[in-house]
Structures are given as C-alpha cells and as structure tokens.
Amino acid sequence: MYPDSPGKLLFTPGPLTTSATVKEAMLRDLGSLDSDFLASVHSIRTRLLALGSYPPEDYECILMQGSGTFVVESVISSVIPRDGKLLVLVNGAYGRRIAQTARVHGIALDVLEVAENRKFTPELVAEHLASLTGITHVAVVHCETTSGILNQVEEIGVVVHGAGAVYIVDAMSSFGAVPIDMAGSHIDFLISSANKCIEGVPGFGFILASRPGLESAKGNARTLSLDLYDQWASMEANGHFRFTPPIHTILAFEQALNELDEEGGVRARGERYRQNHIALCRGMKEIGFEVYLAEEDQSFIITSFRYPSNPAFQFADFYERLWTAGFAIYPGKLSHESCFRIGTIGRITSSDVEALLDAIRLVLREMGVYWVSEKVQEAEPA
C-alpha cells in the first residue's frame, strides 16, 4: 500500500484521499508540448481503454480539462444534434444537473424522474420510451452519489439500444472500481473523472466513446472549449490538448494508474472499497444509525445515513467535530430526507474506517447524543 501524506482523511465521493506518491508526481514542471508530457497523455488514453478491455479499433478515449461537470457538459453539448432530443433518467441531484445542462444549451428534453431511493428498472425505462417519440439520446448516472444508489446501466442499455437511441452514462463515481461492459451495455459515451476511483487529483475528466458515436458528433458542439469532437481530433492529430492542459494533474493521474495496476486492477480496488463499505455499515448500525437505502440498491462508493431523532444531534456540529479530529465526511444532498453521507473510496482501508467510527462514537458522546438501537444499549456518559 502506498503511504498517505499528512492531512485529513476524506470520506467523500471525491476529491478524495490520495497517496503521497500521487501527490509527489506533481512536483515536476513540464511544458504542454514537451515530449514527456505528450507521452503521458498518450499513455493515459491507451491505459484507460485497456482498463475495461475496450478495443481501440472500436472505442476512443478523450481527455477534457475541468471538473466532472465540465466533462458531462462537454458530452451533452457536443453529441446531440440540433434536431436531437435527450431523455434523462433522474433519481438524484446529478441526473437533475444533466437535465439542467441540456436546458441551458436549448436541447429538446424529456425527464423521467423517480424517488431518490429507487433505482431505474429496464421495464420502467422501456415503458417510458414506448410512450415517447423523437428520443435520440438517453442519459443516466451509474452511481448517483446523492444517495449512493447504483443504477442498472447494463440492463437499461439493452432497452436504449432497442429503441435506437445513443446511450450516455455518467460513471463519474464508479469507473475504476465497478467493472462496466460498454459493448454489452451498448454504451456510446462513458464519462468519469481523475479524482474518483482511480485516485488521482482534480483537474480533468475523460470520456470513453464508441467510434461511430464520436464521429457522428462532428459539428454538433454548442461551445468552443468543450467541443468533444475537436478535442479528440486534436489529440489524434498531434497529441495535444487544444487549450492549456492540467499538466500536474495529468502526471498525478499517470502515477495513480500505476498504483491501480499494482493493487490488482479494477476488481481488486472495488473489493477494497467493498470491505470499507461493509466495515462502515456494520459499525454505524452498531452505533445506532440507519442506512437510507435498501441493501440491494446500495453501492460501496458512498452511503447515506439518516439523522438520529435525538435533538442533541446537529449535523453542522457533528461535522466540525469530526473535521477537527481529522476526518471529513459529506453533508446530505437528498431533497426530502435529513441525511449525511460517508464515502468509502480513495486511499483508505477498513482500518481507517474503524478509526472514523471510533471518532464518531467519541463525538456523539461529547455532543450528548445517546439513543437505543436494536443492537446497542444506551451509551453512558464518559
């Protein structure tokens, strides 16, 4: 295991805790046209395709500056033609953000929204598509970190393909830890970011695109800097980003890919995260917290917990005390439930989770929050 550098442990969906060696990779200055940097860009594009056995004759990898939202906007604003129509499947804030992006760009839009604790079934999607006309593209978030739910992108993809639509999957928080079969799922555009499960730092995202889908995007872009096709064409022609690249972030990401390989790849990393999640849920339930989602719908990426009913619990105080103790968790983002979230991805292990749980017990005791769960007797003051 690569060493952590000093600082808070981030139990968030990203940015997240990174190894000291990933950070150290940024301590090097290169120009955007230096041969070493261009070699790194080419290597990353090739290695990202190799992660999922996405054949380079069928798929392309494009890197794009900016946060995950920038990269999603690049796809939405670039691949849908002026006469196209997008269906967005929404069960959380990030699905709603995709729909908002489409509205900003004047893209014809339909939204199918379900509750934030409900995942989409292929039957529901098929029924909705059958009721519509003119849908050319369908977008869904794989792991909707609003709640931590994992949508069935493979099964939905079969339905979307059957309807003759282009399929866009936001795999921001799942790629690199959850295997995704692009071909079997009929995914045309798969989107993720440097600072998620591959454990890099923020600054760019990437798109894995089917070659036909990418080629059909030529001339569709509604922006200059986020033009996906032109970004790909530039990288193919000379290896360059069209505009100033995030050089240090790229160098960190290349090291992060090395560490992913050394850990054993996507499945091995996913297993570490799964063990983190198991330890977290077991400990939180023992303390007395309730998990928001049903177990069968829950990812191992991030987990939402309901606020306890005890009036002594105030999330802002809870958060600040944990922060002072060296642990960063995440506020809730649900529309209708009072929850907070704890991520289990990044350069953390189950021993780090146990340390967080110890800190949570101490903080609750300091706050005077006591309650009885089915498994734990009421805590006594220290």
The CATH number that applies at residue 327 is: 3.90.1150.10
CATH code of 241's domain: 3.40.640.10
pLDDT beyond 90 at 1 = no
- Strand 59-65 and strand 204-210: the pairing is antiparallel
Contact 369, 312 (CB under 8 A): yes
Residues 115 and 44 in one domain: yes
Read off the tokens for 33.
Answer: 């046209």
- Phi first, then psi, for residue 139 (nearest 5°) are -125, 140
Identify whether 185 is part of a domain: yes
Question: Could you tell me how many residues make up the chain?
Answer: 382
User: For residue 182, what are the contacts with CB-CB under 8 A and spacing of at least 6?
Assistant: 52, 54, 59, 190, 208, 210
Q: Confirm whether 381 is domain-assigned.
A: no
Domain that holds residue 329: 266-367
Strand 189-193, strand 166-170: pairing = parallel
Strands 302-306 and 166-170: unpaired
Give the 3-state secondary structure of 168-187.
Answer: EEECCCCCCCCCCCHHHHCC
Are 155 and 215 members of one domain? yes
Asked whether residue 2 is assigned to any structural domain, the reply reads no
Q: How confident is the model at residue 380 (pLDDT cuts 50, 70, 90)?
A: very low
pLDDT per residue as tens digits for the range 186-214:
999 999 999 999 999 999 999 999 999 99
Residue 292, token pair as written in the block: 């928001």
Residues 274 and 295 in one domain: yes
CA 85 to CA 210: how far, in whole Å?
19
Question: Are 118 and 190 part of one and the same domain?
Answer: yes
Do the beta carbons of residue 371 and residue 308 sit within 8 Å? Answer: yes
**E-assigned strands of 177-229?**
189-193, 204-210
Looking at 235, 262, 289, the residue that finishes a domain is: 262
Judge whether 380 lies within some domain. Answer: no
Burial (Cβ within 10 Å: 0-12, 13-18, ≥19) of residue 20: middle
How many whole angstroms separate alpha carbon 96 and alpha carbon 90?
6
What is the token pair recorded at 157? 């993809």
* Long-range contacts of residues 3-6, Cβ cutoff 8 Å, at least 24 apart: 4/347
> Which residue reads 């003051």 in tokens?
381
Q: Are residues 108 and 192 in the same domain?
A: yes
Same domain, 275 and 160: no
Long-range contacts made by residues 267-275, C-beta under 8 angstroms, separation at least 24?
267/179, 269/176, 269/177, 269/197, 270/177, 270/178, 270/179, 270/197, 270/300, 272/349, 273/177, 273/197, 273/300, 273/301, 273/344, 273/345, 274/300, 275/349, 275/350
- Domain assignment of residue 372, yes or no: no
Residues 6+ apart with CB under 8 A from 330: 11, 12, 13, 302, 340, 341, 342, 343
Structure tokens at 181: 């079969």
Among 15-19, 200-204, 296-300, 368-372, the minimum mean pLDDT is found in 368-372
pLDDT digit string, tens, across residues 311-356: 999 999 999 999 999 999 999 888 888 999 999 999 999 999 999 9
- The domain boundary, picked from 206, 236, 262, lies at 262
9 is a domain residue: no
Q: Are residues 103 and 192 in the same domain?
A: yes
Same-domain status, 221 and 280 = no
Q: Are residues 249 and 334 in the same domain?
A: no
166 and 245 in a common domain: yes
13: pLDDT strictly greater than 80: yes
SS3 of residue 265 by DSSP: coil
Question: Does residue 282 share a domain with residue 225?
Answer: no
Q: What is the pLDDT of residue 297?
A: 95
Residue 371: pLDDT band (50, 70, 90) is low
pLDDT, tens digit, for every residue of 159-182?
999 999 999 999 999 999 999 999
Domain stops at, among 262, 289, 318: 262
Query: Is residue 77 a part of any domain in this protein?
Result: yes
- Within this chain, do residues 253 and 279 fall inside the same structural domain, yes or no? no
Q: Say whether pLDDT at 377 is over 60.
A: no
Structure tokens at 167: 């399929």
Q: Give the containing element (helix H, strand E) for 140.
A: strand 137-141
pTM for the predicted model, two decimal places: 0.93
| pLDDT band at residue 17 under the 50/70/90 scheme | very high
What is the Cα–Cα distance from 361 to 138, expressed in whole angstroms? 44
Asked whether residue 373 is domain-assigned, the answer is no
**CA separation, residue 138 to residues 68, 99, 170 (Å):** 18, 11, 11
How far apart CA 196 and CA 138 sit, in angstroms, is 24
